[in-house]
Structure 1
């Protein structure tokens, strides 16, 4: 038995929030520690008076890379094979740091 559960970082477009929640649930029930995006950056997911600044977006992107650092592996949630710019950057970072990467859909 390992000293600690596997840590999995979920990456993917926040347009797939429901799919990421499902992956989080499945991984958690399987005994993994899951780290995932904490805030949706999509404008339609926020109240009119709740605006995310470019500085906040940058900080959230950097924070997600630190989550990848903590993880043993990365799961990319990519229904239909979709991978956007932010997720592409996260995949490149994970590869550069030697993290194993898997995808929910073929790319």
Structure 2
């Protein structure tokens, strides 16, 4: 099977938003995928209990790792989609938006802030 040329690669979109809206993030991923885009998204919902973040020290370390990984996802993406039900944008998401703007990534929103 022949691989498509790099210019034929689908757009890559990274989802940003509060994991409080986990279901909305998942729904946005479905729509973006159906539109033919490659989706990068948060993969750990630390608001739901899990053995990987049950210990508070381990959770703090993981939050740092996940924050850095998400910035690298922004680096890899062609654009950012902010999932912001009711216009909500928390501090972490605001920082991700600022970072995306600083490196010239286009940012769009599910709802205008």
TM-score by length of 2: 0.86
Write out per-residue CA displacement over residues 47-102 of structure 1, whole angstroms, 9 at most, x where no aligned residue: 47842521110010000000000000000000000000110110010000100000
Paired positions, count: 104
Q: Which runs of 5+ in 1 are unaligned?
A: none
Find the partner of 2:32 among 11, 14, 27. Answer: 27
- How has the CA–CA distance of structure 1 residues 9 and 49 changed in structure 2, closer, same or farther, with 3 Å as cutoff? closer
In 2, Cα distance between the equivalents of 1:7 and 1:27? Answer: 9
Aligned structure 1 segments of 4 or more residues deviating by more than 6 angstroms: none
Mapped pair 1:5 → 2:10 = yes
Question: Aligned to 2:25, what secondary structure does the other structure show?
Answer: helix
Q: Which runs of 5+ in 2 are unaligned?
A: 1-6
Q: Pick the structure with greater CA Rg.
A: 2
Match in the other structure for 2:49: 46
